[in-house]
Structure 1
């Protein structure tokens, strides 16, 4: 009879301290508080595939700007001056000669295919020869050219085709990034709330185990008082064991949910635990 009570007290003590052992955490575990908005922002910032898609958007923007550039106004200017000394070939001939120029041009292409080229050229010539009527001498030239394709390249549709293609590619790339970002944000939100539920569930399971241990303790006291038969201890013992098993499963669920969220966030700190 004494051995039977000794076995009972030993089992009862093990059941009381087992939840503390099961729920013990490593000493180096770091808990990090993370809000839902922070989780979504971190996932969007760290996702490598999303970064590559964003690079595609930037490339598409460059292609669109390049296609539009063919209708930009092109303005150019040229300035120059030169001076030289020479041996005169005849009496009173020039020994020094100076030249300078100032040229400008403006070009424009329109969506109809029309191209306009307007240019102006200015020159100045001066030397020290005798008998020259105009010294220095100036010359200016104004030119205007207009071209319009009549067969190949005629019409706005053809001229705008490259721009429209680049803009559609830009829209497609942007939509793909937005869609992937929305899918990633939705996955992060699901994983976040799964982790929140796992933390809440473990609190419920811990309370359930505490109640089962309380019932086991009360049953043991009643058995010691002779109010219950010793065989009545097995039912609360089995209930404690069942709830311990459920608590272990809940702790494992926290680890799984935490790992899934870290994968989505591309987290580098795998030793930390999100709370």
Structure 2
């Protein structure tokens, strides 16, 4: 689709001076491609999924190892006692790595080297080295892969939800662009209708002027004909304004025009189709609407998020009970290297194991948040039901609107033909002197009104059909598109593949 669009741009330069030749016709699919590629609103909306995918990476990074290091230097002199004092100095360095696991455990592997010296030490200098490993594992709150991977699972669900929201924005843009395209086609058709009415009015005015010269009509009938010409000229002024408004709306959707600069191009579009495809049955339309509705799919992800929030809130009600343990090997000598040799020889060791319990009094905050999370799940579930019910109702209304529009087209088309025959008969009778010009004028206005009604039925039915295709999920298919074809226009700065991380998760 993009190559065709760029070829079109080569033949139609936007906003660059007066048009020297007739502008080529803008196909609807090219207008939609331009909107998908350049519309500012869609570009803004595409940042949300990119941010959501980065949030997945942020949550996954909580399980990355963390390196740490520290060093310190200290010196001191004791208060003199019996005229004697002692001096001391110390240096220490520590390095290690922390790793958090999906079970909630935190494992630390570290090593330290301490040097102390002074008159009061047995060894001067005195080096102490140790290498050890320690573990902290929650047993109640925060224990298990389900709880600890829940924020990552929630971020993934939110990323999926943001992608569905972007799809909804894409469909809204396609809908807006197609309606803007046909609105412009209607505005041009309406002007053409007015031009034909003006030509007819001018013809009648000239005919009346000649008949007045021959003494067959009164000056009043000439004035009536001239007034009708002015009315049609006024209608053309309004029609020209409507065309410019419709062109600007289409330019805005296509995202190709800088309205700050002068805009002098003309957009030529297809004529309004006079034949519409028959509708599917209302039951089939409603069923497809409920099954394929993107807003419902977005809401389903919100329910998943609320369920994860509820699970995390339930975990917060439990007390903190942590198992802590560690093992270190020690070495000591008057040299740092020999102190580490003692570590490797296991000259000394130290181990510890224990439990730590912490219980907030009454757990009032945690229980209140648990109740809020439970209500959040119930509310989101009811909202999903309401969305599906509203979409089913919208599908029924849109189907009836399109169905009645198709019937209205046939009625207004027949009325237009009858009014045309009536006008031609009145004009013939006027030419024979059987009726006054007022009868011809009224017949002409009835005929103009019938043509306008027919044109209005075409655009209103077309709008209804387009909106129906947006509701029942066939809008892309209607315009020869699918999500694979749309994907290049909605590329994110972060690849979709990042939704599937390498970490094994136990999705709640």
Residue matched to 2:151: 162
Check the 8 A contact 1:120/1:143 in 2, yes or no: yes
**Alignment CA distance shift 1:273-1:212 (3 Å):** farther
Check the 8 A contact 1:74/1:108 in 2, yes or no: yes
Residue matched to 1:44: 41
Is 1:184 matched with 2:184?
A: no
Per-residue CA deviation, residues 132-179 of structure 1 (Å, 9 max, x unaligned), is: 663222111111123555666554333322211222123213322331
Q: CA deviation at 1:229?
A: 4.8
Q: CA deviation at 1:80?
A: 0.9
Check the 8 A contact 1:120/1:142 in 2, yes or no: yes
Matches within 5 A, 1:1-275: 33=15, 36=31, 37=34, 41-42=38-39, 44=41, 58=51, 60=52, 64-86=56-78, 89=81, 94=86, 96-127=87-118, 129=119, 134-148=123-137, 153-195=142-184, 197-199=186-188, 201-202=190-191, 205-206=194-195, 209-210=198-199, 213=202, 216-217=205-206, 220=209, 229-230=216-217, 237=225, 240=229, 243-244=232-233, 247=236, 250-251=239-240, 253-254=242-243, 257=246
**Alignment CA distance shift 1:40-1:146 (3 Å):** closer
Gaps (5+ residues) in structure 1?
1-31
Q: How many residues align?
A: 231
Q: CA deviation at 1:118?
A: 0.9
Q: CA deviation at 1:89?
A: 4.8
**Alignment CA distance shift 1:39-1:222 (3 Å):** farther
SS in 1 for 2:183: helix
Q: CA deviation at 1:122?
A: 1.0
Which one is further off, 210-219 or 154-163?
210-219
Residue matched to 1:21: none
**Alignment CA distance shift 1:177-1:79 (3 Å):** same
SS in 1 for 2:72: strand
CA distance in 1, matches of 2:72, 2:162: 48
CA distance in 1, matches of 2:109, 2:64: 15
Q: CA deviation at 1:69?
A: 3.7
SS in 2 for 1:70: helix
Gaps (5+ residues) in structure 2?
1-13, 17-25, 267-508
Alpha-carbon RMSD: 5.0
CA distance in 2, matches of 1:43, 1:190: 18
Per-residue CA deviation, residues 186-233 of structure 1 (Å, 9 max, x unaligned), is: 214422442354246535643663575367547746875x6x9558x9
**Alignment CA distance shift 1:39-1:201 (3 Å):** farther
Check the 8 A contact 1:40/1:188 in 2, yes or no: no
CA distance in 2, matches of 1:184, 1:252: 24
SS in 1 for 2:63: coil
CA distance in 1, matches of 2:251, 2:36: 9
Which one is further off, 206-215 or 96-105?
206-215
Could you state the TM-score of these two structures normalised by the residue count of structure 2? 0.35
Q: CA deviation at 1:79?
A: 0.9
